[in-house]
Structure 1
Amino acid sequence: MVKTFERIIVKIIVIQFLFLIGTQLFFHQLSIFPELKIITKYEGVNKNNFADFLETFNGK
C-alpha cells in the first residue's frame, strides 16, 4: 500500500513539473501577454538597471 501511494505522489510531482515548464514557455517565451514583461521590469525581476525601471515607470 505504501509503494502505491509513493508511485501516485511521484506521478503527481512529475505532472506538476511538466505543467510548470509548459506554463513558463507559454507565458514568457511565446510572449502571449506583453504586459507580463512590463510588470517584471517594474518589479525588477529582469535586470538591476535603474534606467529601465524609470522608463517602465514613466510608461515609455
Structure 2
Amino acid sequence: MTIKEAAGIIGVSPLTIRIGLQRGLFPFGTAFKTKEENKRYCYVLYPEKVREYLGGK
C-alpha cells in the first residue's frame, strides 16, 4: 500500500500520513531515516493495520 492510497482511504492528505508516521502518531506503519544524517525518510505501511485503524471498513 502506498502513502497516497492510505491517505485516500483514511481521507487525509499524503503529507498528513507522512508526518504522522514520522511522529509515531499512526499505529499502521513506521517511518525511518535511511541514514541518520539524511532528512529523507522511508515509509512502511501495513494494509491490514490501516483497515483495523478504520474499524474494519
TM-score w.r.t. the length of structure 2 is 0.33
Higher strand residue share: 2
TM-score w.r.t. the length of structure 1 is 0.32
Q: Which has the higher contact order (CA 8 A, sep 6+)?
A: 2
Q: Determine which structure has more spread, i.e. the larger CA radius of gyration.
A: 1
Higher helix residue share: 1
